[in-house]
């Protein structure tokens, strides 16, 4: 479990996070939502120690993240970020094996166990056939699968992802999130697409101007009364069998007819089970 209590953070004189508190529960998927500039990625970075808050605490399984060594933190939390060097001259197998680094000494050789764990991770994400290929030559969806495999090879109990569906088409958006949801680990994921959050998240936190505006299940948070003042658009919620979809339009003007959030699939999976 990851707990955030009273976290504040600023870049220079500009406050970015203001007294934020969230809880990512064991084995559940928690979505961080909000408009651009609301503090989602900054909050995620405080969770894995890349940024240190000026006040408040971040703890993982009751241990203060600020007191954990880099190696110990890497054994507890695996991270998949957007800014990954897609042109790295490494094979998929070598990239996934980097996930074993926190469990080896600085100059230790790769062991048979490391190879087995990396292969198993690639199997779990359906990418074992890519092992010998250059990472730079993969499609966006394939890269995301490989990065998740590297996180699995890290054998951490918590997985953090920053917009893992960015630049992916509808098919790969759903494949990647379905994969992540099926891992059974504690997941915190930054998402822009609210319809994807409705399908794949157990709980969501809605941020605005660095503050938590709402938190709860998607059914509780993703409602027009909460979303409209935050996103400054009109929202219609359409109930479907086993779930719901959201449609959006401008508050004023002659905008288009009601349409799903950009990137949402027309045939969303029914429910979150």
Q: Report the predicted TM-score, pTM, of the whole model to 2 decimal places.
A: 0.86
Q: Which residues pair with 167 in a beta bridge?
A: none
- Are residues 248 and 222 in contact, defined by beta-carbon separation less than 8 angstroms? no
DSSP state at residue 69: -
Spatial CA neighbour of 221 closest among 16, 6, 22: 22
Q: For residue range 113-172, what is the model confidence (pLDDT) as tens digits?
A: 999 999 999 998 889 999 999 999 998 888 888 998 999 899 888 999 999 888 788 888
Please give the Cα distance from 74 to 256 (Å, whole number): 46
Q: For residue range 2-31, what is the model confidence (pLDDT) as tens digits?
A: 999 999 999 988 899 999 999 999 999 999
Could you give the 3-state DSSP secondary structure of residue 37? coil
Q: For residue range 72-91, what is the model confidence (pLDDT) as tens digits?
A: 999 899 999 875 655 678 99
pLDDT at 262 over 60: no
Tell me what pLDDT residue 270 has.
42
Structural domains in the chain, sorted by start? 2-260 (3.40.50.300)
Helix, strand, coil percentages (3-state) for the chain, rounded to 5, are 35, 30, 35
- Are residues 30 and 47 in contact, defined by beta-carbon separation less than 8 angstroms? no
Helical segments of the chain, H only: 40-47, 70-76, 92-97, 112-124, 140-153, 170-181, 194-200, 218-221, 224-231
């Amino acid at each position: 479990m990851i707990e955030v209590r009273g976290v504040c953070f600023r870049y220079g004189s500009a406050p970015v996070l203001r007294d934020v508190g969230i809880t990512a529960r064991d084995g559940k998927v928690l979505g961080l939502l909000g408009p651009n500039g609301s503090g989602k990625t900054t909050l995620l970075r405080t969770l894995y120690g890349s940024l240190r808050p000026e006040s408040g605490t971040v703890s993982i399984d009751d241990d203060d993240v600020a007191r954990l060594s880099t190696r110990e933190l890497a054994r507890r939390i695996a991270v998949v970020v957007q800014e990954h060097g897609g042109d790295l001259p490494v094979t998929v197998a070598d990239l996934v094996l980097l996930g074993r680094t926190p469990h080896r000494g600085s100059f230790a050789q790769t062991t048979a166990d490391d190879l087995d764990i990396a292969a198993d991770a690639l199997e779990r994400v359906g990418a074992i056939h890519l092992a010998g290929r250059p990472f730079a030559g993969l499609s966006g969806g394939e890269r995301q699968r490989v990065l998740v495999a590297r996180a699995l090879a890290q054998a951490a109990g918590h997985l953090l992802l920053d917009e893992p569906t960015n630049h992916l088409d509808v098919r790969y958006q759903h494949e990647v999130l379905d994969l992540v949801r099926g891992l059974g680990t504690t997941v915190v994921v930054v998402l822009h697409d609210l319809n994807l959050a409705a399908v794949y998240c157990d709980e969501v936190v809605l941020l605005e101007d660095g503050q938590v505006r709402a938190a709860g299940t998607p059914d509780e948070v993703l409602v027009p009364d909460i979303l409209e003042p935050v996103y400054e658009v009109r929202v219609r919620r359409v109930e479907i069998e086993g779930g719901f979809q959201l449609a959006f339009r401008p508050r004023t003007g002659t905008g288009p007819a009601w349409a799903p959030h950009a990137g949402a699939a027309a045939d969303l999976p029914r429910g979150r089970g």
